[in-house]
Amino acid sequence: MESPFSNIVRRYQSTFHPVVKTEPGEKMLSLNLTEQNRQLSNEVLADTGRFSGWINQQLESAGCRYAIGGYGEKRKVYQTPLFAAERPGEEPRTVHLGVDIWGPAGTPVYAFMGGMVHSFAYNAQDGDYGATIVLLHQLDGLAFYTLYGHLSLKDIQTLSAGQYIIFGQPIGHFGPPSENGNWPPHLHFQVILDMELKEGDYPGVCRWSEKEKYFSNCPDPNLILQLLPT
């Protein structure tokens, strides 16, 4: 049985503006960042430049401008202290709660519907979101949030909490590694039902043992993006 959120969003899917614009019929590369991808060696993941080069190589080989994927994915890329176990023997955070769209730095990001700036922040720690925006939306009386991570610093310099955002408004750009938490350029797009009093930040990765709790609060973003097969 689908959740109330899913039911409401499906009714409005045809009205949403693309979060990242693509050409009609343009193919996106489905990118696998799990341990099953043997191409992702520790050597590749240990350096942002090498990781970026690997992603660009995948895109070039597939003839694609963008790569996409990640919701619910148990990944091997989280090797910074930000995701490590808090104590020896404890479980690290490895399960991705958003959808990533990988592509050139500077790629515009758009509001899929109107809303309001809930909060924003520069989460500068290595491996974190970098420049981040959280928007508040409402559909049929249901309030929810969308988080946009790994943006450019310039995108948050003129924002204010409570600022209204209109349908299709450019709200950000894929940030360079120096501004996006030291990742290859991409957008992390996440849906959140309850921000739990957090501002400008919400976990984008959780422990495997906590995944059901987080999945219930962070539904599949493809309901909005509509870029992956259903």
- Residue 35: the pLDDT is 80
Are 118 and 199 within 8 A, CB to CB? yes
Q: Among 29, 171, 195, which residue's Cα sits nearest to residue 107?
A: 171
Structure token pair of residue 33: 């960042």
Low-confidence residues in the chain, pLDDT < 70: 1, 78-89, 230
CB proximity list for 63: less than 8 A, separation 6 or greater: 27
pLDDT of residue 85: 54
pLDDT at 37: 86
Residue 119: per-residue pLDDT? 98
Question: What fold, for 4-19+28-225?
Answer: Glucose Permease (Domain IIA) (2.70.70)
The pLDDT value given to residue 94: 86
Domain chopping of the chain, boundaries: 4-19+28-225
State the CB neighbour count (10 A cutoff) for residue 228: 15
The answer to whether residues 123 and 129 touch, using CB atoms and an 8 Å cutoff, is: yes
* pLDDT value, residue 68: 96
Given the DSSP bridges, would you call strands 186-192 and 142-151 parallel, antiparallel or unpaired? antiparallel
